Chain A
Amino acid sequence: MSQIASKVEHSTRSSRIGIVLILATLAVLALAPFWGDRQTLRLLAEMYAFVALASLWNLLAGYAGLVSVGQQAFVGFGGYLLFWLVIVAGVHPLVAILIAGPVAAIIAVPVAALTFRLRGAYFAIGTWVVAEVFRLLASQISVLGGGSGISLPAAMVISMAPTRQAREFEIYWLALALTVIVLAAIVALLRSRHGLALTAIRDNELAAQSNGIGVMRIKLIIYVLVAFGTSMVGALIFLQKLRISPDTAFSVNDWTAFVIFITVIGGIGRIEGPIIGTIIFFAMRQTLSDLGSLYLLIMGAVAIVVMLWAPKGLWGLIAERYGWQALPLQRRLVLTPKENAGRKP
C-alpha cells in the first residue's frame, strides 16, 4: 500500500502572480507623491478609503452574512471622535485615528447586543436606526457645531505638518497604509481558523452551525472588528476633509449605498471584489457625475442588474471562468504519494 501525504496549499499559480502584481502596484502607488499631482493624490486617497470601507462591509455582509445598511454609524463615529479628540481634548490627529478604532469596537458591543436581536433584513434596517440615533446625537453636540458641523481649526491642521504639501503627502500615505493594513488584516483573518469558519458560514450557515461552529460568536467578533476598522477609516476620511457635519458624517448614500454598489459590482464574498468595484465606481463617477441625480439613478439600475444576472459580481465572473485568485485564500488539498523504500523494485 502506498502511503499518501497530504498538505493544504493556499496559493495557486495565479495567486503567486497576483502577489507579485500587487506588490508592484503598491510600490508605484506608494511613490505617487513623486509622480502625481495634487488632484491625483486626493482622488487616490479617496479611492483607498472606499476600498477599505467596501472590504470591511464585504467581510461583514459577504462572509458573516450580516447585511448592515448602517455602517455610516461607525464612519461618522470615527470622524466625530477625531474632531472631538483634536478640538476639545487637544490630541494629535494621528493619535486620534488610533484611538477611534478601539473606542468604536467598545461601542459596537452594545449596538450588536441590540441589533442582533433582529434577523435578516430587519437587522439591516435596525442598523440604520442606530446610525440615525448616532446622527441625531451628533447634532446635539454643541462644542462640535451641533447640526451645522465644524471645521478643524487651522492651528490643529498646521500642527500635523508645516506645509500644505507635506500634510497632503502625510494624509496620502496614511490612507494607503491604513487600507493596506485593513486588507492585510482581512486576508490574515480569512486564512486563519476563524476564516475557515467564516467561509463555511458564507457558504451555508446551517451546515456551519451543525459542524460545531459558534456562528453567533464569530458574527459578533466580525461585527466588532469591522466597527474597529470602519471607525479608523472614518476618522481618516474626515481628517482629509477637514470639516464634519452630522449629515455628511452619517450619510447613508456616501458610506453605505456607494459601498454596497462597489462591493456588489466587484463581487461580494471575495476579497478582490471591493478593489475591482472601487475602480469601476470611480471610473463611472469621473465620467457620469455631470449627469447629477441621473448618475445615481444609473448606478442603482446597474446594481440591480448585476445582483439579478451576475450575483457574484465582475470578479466572481472572472474567478469562475479562469479560476483566478489574486490573493492566496483558497485551501486546496494536495495529495502526493510518499516515497516508500520497501516497495521499490
Chain B
Amino acid sequence: MTEWLNVILQGVLIGGLYAMFAAGLSLIFGVMRLVNIAHGDLIVLAAYVALMVTQTLGLDPLTSLLLVVPAMALIGYALQRLLLNRTLGDDLLPPLLVTFGLSIIIQNGLLELFTADSRKLQAGAIEVQTFQMMEGVWVGALPLIQFIVAVAVIAGLQMLFYRTALGRAFRATSDDQAVAQLMGLDTRHVFAMAMALSLAVVAIAGVFLAVRANFDPSIGPARLIFGFEAVIIGGLGSMWGTLAGGVILGVSQAVGAQIDPGWQLLAGHLAFLAILAVRPQGLFPKVSG
C-alpha cells in the first residue's frame, strides 16, 4: 500500500516538471497559435546554458537560474523577432517546418559543442535530502521544491495573464490579432514578449530537468512530447489544466514503471491517447483550436 502511495507521490511531483514543459508550449500557442517543435530542444539548451554557468561561475544550479532565465528570455525574444514572426500567417506549414528545422539545428549544434556524453547538474546536499510524510512514505527535498516552483510558475503566469497590461495585450492578440493591432498594439513585440516568457519558463524547467537526471543533446523531442501530452490532457488554453495534465502524465508513467520498467513511457502515451479518445477537448478546455 505505502509502496503505491510512494509511486503515486513521485508521479505527482514529476508531473510538476511536465507542467512546466507544457506551460511554455501552451502560452505561445494561446497567444499566437504557434506550436514550437523545438520546445523540447530549447529545454535541453537551457540545461546546457545552466551547465556552463555553474561550471564557469561555480554557482549552484538553483542560483544559476538568476542568469539562465534572463538569458533564455533574451534568446526567445530575438528568436521570435528575427525568425518566427516571419512564419506566422494563415499557412500552417512555415511555423511547423521552421521550428522543426530549428530543432535539428539546436540538437546538432549542442552535439557539436558538448558531444553526446550525458551530463548532470550537481546540486550538492539538497539532492539527497528527504522528508518522511508518513509511515513508509518519503519525499525528496528537490522534487518537492520542483513541484512548488511549478505551482508558483503556473500561478504567476495566470496572474500575469489576467492582472497585468502585458497579459491584457496577450489576451487581446490571442482574441483578434487585427483588432489588437488597430488598438495600437505592436503584435510583433507582443509575440516576442510571449516567446521570451515561454523561454523563461523553459529555463526553469531545463534547470530542474538537469538537476534531476542525466541529459544529453538528443533528449529534447521526448520533452516536447511530454509537454504536448500534458497540454492536451489538461485542455488547450488552460494554465491550471496543464498542471493537471502534467500530474496525470507523471502518475501514469510512475504507475507504468512500477508494473514493468519497459512500460513507463508507454503508460504515459496510452493515458494521453485514452484521454484523446474519450475527451478530445481535454479535462479543462478553454479555447478550441
Contact = CB atoms under 8 A, between A and B. Distances in A.
A122 B228 contact: yes
A137 B100 CA distance: 25
Contacts, number: 118
A343 interface: no
B104 interface: yes
A114 interface: yes
Nearest to B104: A300
Given A125-B35, A133-B270, A65 B92 contact: yes
A140 to B, nearest CB: 6
A126 interface: yes
A114 B277 contact: yes
A136 B96 contact: no
B108 interface: yes
29 contacts: A69-B100, A114-B273, A117-B280, A118-B280, A121-B95, A124-B37, A124-B96, A125-B37, A125-B228, A129-B229, A132-B222, A132-B225, A132-B265, A133-B266, A133-B269, A136-B265, A136-B269, A252-B221, A268-B93, A294-B112, A300-B105, A300-B108, A301-B101, A304-B83, A304-B98, A304-B101, A307-B98, A308-B86, A311-B93
A133 B269 CA distance: 7
Contacts of B149: none
Interface residues of B, number: 44
B102 interface: yes
B92 A120 contact: yes
A120 B95 CA distance: 11
Contacts of A296: 104, 107-108
Interface string A287-307: 000001110110111011001
Nearest to A296: B108
A132 B269 contact: yes
Interface string A234-257: 000000000000000000110001
A67 interface: yes
B85 to A, nearest CB: 11
B225 A304 contact: no
B232 A121 contact: no
Contacts of A129: 225, 228-229, 269, 272-273
Given A118-B276, A132-B222, A257-B100, 13 more contacts: A61-B93, A118-B232, A122-B232, A124-B35, A126-B276, A128-B221, A129-B229, A132-B225, A136-B269, A293-B112, A294-B112, A303-B100, A307-B93
